[in-house]
Homo-oligomer: A and B are copies of this chain.
Amino acid sequence: MKLEKPLVAAGLMFSLTVGAVFAASHADNPFAAGIKARQAQMQIQSFNLGILGAMAKGESEYDAEAAVLAATNLMHAVSIHQPQAWAPGSDNSAVEGTRALPAIWQNFPDVGAKSAELKAAAEEMKAVAGTGAEAVGAAMGRLGGACSACHKAYRAPAN
């Protein structure tokens, strides 16, 4: 009984903070919360790659601190592993609002290998981000390749 109060409090807090989000999305599509979570991960990757890419292209001034911060954020984002966001059946042939191809679920070893390459490329970026725009540009090449390889194989084209 000692644990009942914290559990009730936790349940209440949870309801207040995230329960509404889940309830709303689950009414329409059982995969909606997962699809949002996996797209959110891509969004954070895209935003921080955008900061680094702009520096590499000279569209924004190189800033070592901001570059290291963006590379660190990227590293956190690629380290997030949310299998529950990739439930079988949550592909673009079955549900709305996703470009994830069914091939993902038929090629887990390859998806894992491509994900490992993305992580390795992000690690390389983090290692060199503080050393100048040229190094950022070189690391961006490998990162862009990792993004493209997975999108080409496993993401439907935008309409």
Residues 6-30 of A contacting B (Cβ, < 8 Å): 6-7, 9-14, 16-22
Which of B33, B81, B137, B145 has a CB less than 8 Å from the CB of A47? B33
A73 CA to B85 CA, complexed, in Å: 12
Within 8 A of B (CB), among A22-57: 22, 33-34, 36-37, 39-41, 43-44, 46-51, 53, 56-57
- Complex Cα distance A48/B83, Å? 11
Chain A interface residue bracket vs B: 35 or more
Of B57, B77, B81, which contacts A69 at CB under 8 A? Answer: B81
Q: How many copies does the complex hold?
A: 2
Does A56 lie within 8 Å of B16, measured CB to CB? no
- CB atoms of B33 and A50 under 8 A apart: yes
- Contact in complex: B147, A53 (CB < 8 Å): no
> CB distance A6 to B73 under 8 Å?
no
**CB contact under 8 A between A46 and B18, given known A11-B53, A53-B11, A66-B84:** yes
Is A148 among interface residues, defined by CB-CB distance under 8 A? yes
A77 contact set on B, CB distance < 8 A: 76, 80
Q: Which residues of B contact A51 (CB under 8 A)?
A: 84
- Are the C-beta atoms of A21 and B46 separated by less than 8 Å? yes
Q: Which of B10, B134, B144, B145 contacts A57 (CB 8 A)?
A: B10
The 5 closest A-B pairs by CB, nearest first: A13-B144, A37-B47, A14-B53, A40-B40, A10-B140
